[in-house]
Amino acid sequence: MSQTLTAADVDAMITQGPFHQWLGLKVTALGEDSIEIRATWREEWKVHPERPYTHGGILATLLDLAADWALVKRTGRGVPTIDMRVDYHAAAMPGDLIVKGRVLKPGSQFAAAESQVFDLDGKLLASGRATYFTGAAAPKK
């Protein structure tokens, strides 16, 4: 895969999906084996009106996305998740989130990557590690 992808290129790739659009994703940085994404907070993320913190499923989704898309320079695409672990460290209160992903071990068939979710003050809210299938993409039908 070409090493000339920019953050704008990857942003355009990620935001093709309606769910990713709904999450309000914006790629803010792209490294050789890393990515940083900002997610725009939504009222629908709240667990409950009286408990306004962000649902853990949203945090897990963001962790998966960042780890997955950290592999984009090697694969040129998002890749399927095989296994994922999530650790929650603090409640994510209303506000945009910053998600950072990094490739730990690239591979031609499988790869490992990690990610972290932070609030805008830099507080670590959740972290995760996952394995992805990086083999050849299935042919389009």
Domains of the chain: 7-133 (3.10.129.10)
At 2, is the pLDDT very low, low, confident or very high (cuts 50, 70, 90)? very low
Using DSSP, state whether 31 is helix, strand or coil.
coil
What's the pTM value of the predicted model, to 2 decimals?
Answer: 0.91
Q: What is the DSSP letter of 45?
A: G
Which two three-digit tokens encode residue 39?
């997610």
Measured CA to CA, the distance from residue 98 to residue 37 in angstroms comes to: 6
Encoding tokens for residue 123?
A: 């507080």
Residues 6+ apart with CB under 8 A from 137: 77
Predicted confidence at residue 30, as pLDDT, reads 94
What would the pLDDT profile of 41-96 be if each residue is shown by its tens digit? 999 999 998 889 999 999 999 999 999 999 988 888 889 999 999 999 999 999 99
